[in-house]
Amino acid sequence: MANVTVIGAQWGDEGKGKIVDWLASRADAVVRFQGGHNAGHTLVVGEQVYKLSLLPSGIVTGTLSIIGNGVVLDPWALKAEIEKLTAQGVAINADNFAIADNCPLILPLHRDLDGLRETAAGSGKIGTTGRGIGPAYEDKVGRRAIRVCDLAHLDALDSQLDRLCAHHDALRAGFGQPPVDRDALVAELRDIAPYVLQFAQPVWKRLNQVRKAGARILFEGAQGVLLDVDHGTYPFVTSSNTVSGTAASGSGLGPNATGFVLGIVKAYTTRVGSGPFPTELEDATGQRLGERGHEFGTVTGRKRRCGWFDAVLVRQSCAISGVTGIALTKVDVLDGMEKVKICTGYRLRGKVLDYFPSHAADQAEVEPIYEEMDGWAGTTAGARSWADLPAQAIKYIQRVQELIETPVALVSTSPEREDTILVRDPFVD
């Protein structure tokens, strides 16, 4: 039996929550390995809707759920999310939930800095969620972060606070803000510490024990490959590596543990916030995709930009992340369209490209080359086998996998967990 790593292969919002929930019901442990509470997953189980931002999707099924060291953790957001899920009847305790004790914390000063920067940037805004994710990662690599394990040693925090405040006080002064209130910060940490520490442990050790016992581990990524800080549409990216390789460094298991890499891919393309988007449709078709797909961010509520499927971008994502197979979601949103288009290449100043260039100016200037296909009159919604799909929808799916040079492993046909066509079982590599 194989472990499975799930990543988004576009700009996030591909429907990872439903797929991870479906897989989590068959896994023994689920691990979040990067990002923070800027990620949003919506799970639909029967009549109940769960909205997760930080907790691994497996928590809803009672599967052992772990926040790895590659995540930046807002302890107050964690508590609020746990309380909300508990009110919905989800049991969360130290038996089924763990946090890496070397996980960096998102502090109020990180949220402050995030907001100050975005406000001051004007037209240069990146479009962050304002939740302090980027500044927290900066402090991690700057070796001045406060981590979960530090919550058990708050009386010995002075030297770390000296480094942290020396950096942030200078930045705050540049924005005309007062210095960090160290006493207030320590008081807030002292108040939240017992709550967080009940879940804290060396999760690398627990995961290695789980693996040695032959259990199946599901690695859950946030955002998407096109938002990766190295491989995404820089600077309009997130602050962490979102590619599959991060599952190893962000969890404490080696790279040989990540197993089958499942890339989640929407049957069209969406993006939240600023940045290049070659196939964006700012017309009635784009509006139709947004309305039918209910394209609003789970975390921010912001309207998503919509466009045709971009095979160039997805092929690039699959190559960079070593994707074994894709899960194609939201095919039903294309139901009833007379024609559908797929981007197969770009034109840039007279040259044809089969990849997305790295420079922002080139990214903004590329023009998509489209291949047009007939749409389908029937419905794909709720289909659970190939026989349930219209013939033209099957042709579309087959063309997608040809163009991205990666096979389809799953097809999701509605937000419901069981409305899934299984082509290849990721847990049986």
Please tell me the predicted confidence (pLDDT) of residue 299.
58
Are residues 114 and 204 part of one domain? Answer: no
303 in a known ligand binding site: yes
Structural domain includes residue 344: yes
Are residues 145 and 24 part of one domain? Answer: no
Structural domain includes residue 429: no
Choose the final residue of a domain: 245, 260, 275: 260
Are residues 179 and 212 part of one domain? Answer: no
The pTM is what? 0.92
Are residues 97 and 10 part of one domain? Answer: yes
Are residues 66 and 10 part of one domain? Answer: yes
339 in a known ligand binding site: no
What share of residues in the chain are helix, strand, coil (percent, to 5)? 40, 20, 40
242 in a known ligand binding site: no
Structural domain includes residue 13: yes
Query: At 280, is the secondary structure helix, strand, or coil?
Result: strand
Structural domain includes residue 412: yes
Alpha-carbon Rg for the chain in angstroms: 22
**Spatial contact of 376 and 390, defined as CB atoms under 8 Å apart:** yes
Choose the final residue of a domain: 196, 231, 247: 196
Please tell me the predicted confidence (pLDDT) of residue 301.
65
Please tell me the predicted confidence (pLDDT) of residue 381.
92
Query: At 134, is the secondary structure helix, strand, or coil?
Result: helix
298 in a known ligand binding site: yes
Choose the final residue of a domain: 236, 260, 284: 260
351 in a known ligand binding site: no
Are residues 211 and 77 part of one domain? Answer: yes
**Spatial contact of 222 and 14, defined as CB atoms under 8 Å apart:** no
Structural domain includes residue 428: no
Please tell me the predicted confidence (pLDDT) of residue 21.
80
Taking all residues of the chain, what is their mean pLDDT, rounded to a whole number?
A: 92
Structural domain includes residue 427: no
Which helix (H) or strand (E) segment holds residue 307: the answer is: strand 305-307
- Domain of 225: which CATH number? 3.40.440.10
304 in a known ligand binding site: yes
Are residues 331 and 318 part of one domain? Answer: yes
DSSP 179: P
Are residues 223 and 91 part of one domain? Answer: yes
Are residues 22 and 116 part of one domain? Answer: no
Q: What amino acid positions are annotated as catalytic residues? A: 13, 41, 140
- Domain of 345: which CATH number? 3.90.170.10
List pLDDT tens digits, range 275-327: 999 999 999 999 999 999 888 765 566 788 999 999 999 999 999 999 999 99
Return d(Cα 339, Cα 231) in angstroms, integer: 32
Are residues 153 and 25 part of one domain? Answer: no
Structural domain includes residue 21: yes
363 in a known ligand binding site: no
Return d(Cα 333, Cα 322) in angstroms, integer: 28
Are residues 411 and 276 part of one domain? Answer: yes
Q: Which residue ranges of the chain lie beneath pLDDT 50?
A: none
387 in a known ligand binding site: no
Tokens encoding 307: 């466009």
Return d(Cα 36, Cα 45) in angstroms, integer: 24
- Those residues whose C-beta lies under 8 Å from the C-beta of residue 333, and which sit 6 or more positions away, are 267, 268, 289, 292, 293
Tokens 């009635």 belong to: 284
For the chain, the domain total comes to: 3
- The CA–CA distances, whole Å, from 107 to 77, 131, 252, 356, 370 equal 11, 10, 24, 36, 46
Structural domain includes residue 122: yes
**Domain residue limits at 143:** 108-196
**Spatial contact of 390 and 378, defined as CB atoms under 8 Å apart:** yes
